[in-house]
Amino acid sequence: MMKNVNNSSDIEQKINIRFKNKDLLKQVFVHRSYLNENPNLGLTHNERLEFLGDAVLELIITEYLYINYPNPEGELTNWRSALVKGKKLAEVSKKIGLNDHLLLSRGESKSLGKAREIILANALEALIGAIYLDQGYNVAKKFILSNLVIYLSEILEKELYKDAKSHFQELAQEKTSITPSYNVLNQSGPDHAKIFEIGLFLNDKLIAKGRGASKQEAEQAAAEEALSTYFK
């Protein structure tokens, strides 16, 4: 793994940023779990960079929305939330290749689904924090505008800023006059780490499925899946 993270030139090429402090870029990929197995790495984990990057990301997107849209605060808040939610950050993280450079413990490296999504989203926030420290505000702003804000038009057009369950219910009632229902299809895992699989139904017809660590999370996942497939 160290071979990948030490060879940071491909990441720099993808994001078109040359870091002055290469160790800062390497730190972006270090998950806390990796240090438990590699205590002599010489770098700390990425959580402080993630903390900083989260704040930088929110400020830059807030500034962009405030300058470019005269909408009420509530609407802007919803739009911002859609841009910075973990799923979107994880998508961008994968797109620019961060997944290939993550330094994880042997156990954590096997994580999939929501757990890996969180790790990828955190890595992107850590990268933003590292860019801010190494290159300054304007370069961080350019990176965020180029890699995240470009999705704003799609979010507005498809109304992805709305709560998925509420949005699907509105569409279902408008187009079919049916109120959707949700039922547990399956649950697995120990009591402290259960995974729920929820089915979204229109009458008795199964429309979509969703998985999550809670019933509410799984219902949202099912609604998101239905929004992307059923009413296209």
The strands making up 205-212's β-sheet, listed across from edge to edge, are: 181-188, 195-202, 205-212
pLDDT digits (tens, 9 = 90+) for 133-161: 999 999 999 999 999 999 999 889 888 88
Report pLDDT for 106: 85
Report pLDDT for 4: 45
CA distances 198 to 72, 104, 135, 160, 232, Å, are: 35, 30, 45, 21, 21
In sequence order, the β-bridge partners of residue 30 are: 103
Report pLDDT for 232: 66
**Distance between CA atoms of residues 74 and 99, nearest Å:** 34
pLDDT digits (tens, 9 = 90+) for 84-112: 988 899 999 999 999 999 999 888 877 77
Report pLDDT for 2: 41
pLDDT by residue, tens only, the chain of 232 residues: 343 444 577 899 999 999 999 999 999 999 999 998 988 888 999 999 999 999 999 999 999 999 999 999 999 998 999 999 888 999 999 999 999 999 998 888 777 777 888 999 999 999 999 999 999 999 999 999 999 999 999 889 888 888 888 889 989 999 999 999 999 999 988 887 788 999 999 999 999 999 888 898 899 889 988 988 887 6
Residue range 164-229 forms a domain whose CATH class is alpha beta
What is the domain partition of the chain in residue ranges? 2-157, 164-229
Report pLDDT for 97: 93
Q: What are the catalytic residues?
A: 54, 125
Tell me phi and psi for residue 194, to 5 degrees: -75, 150
Domain 2-157, classified CATH 3.40.1160.10, yes or no: no
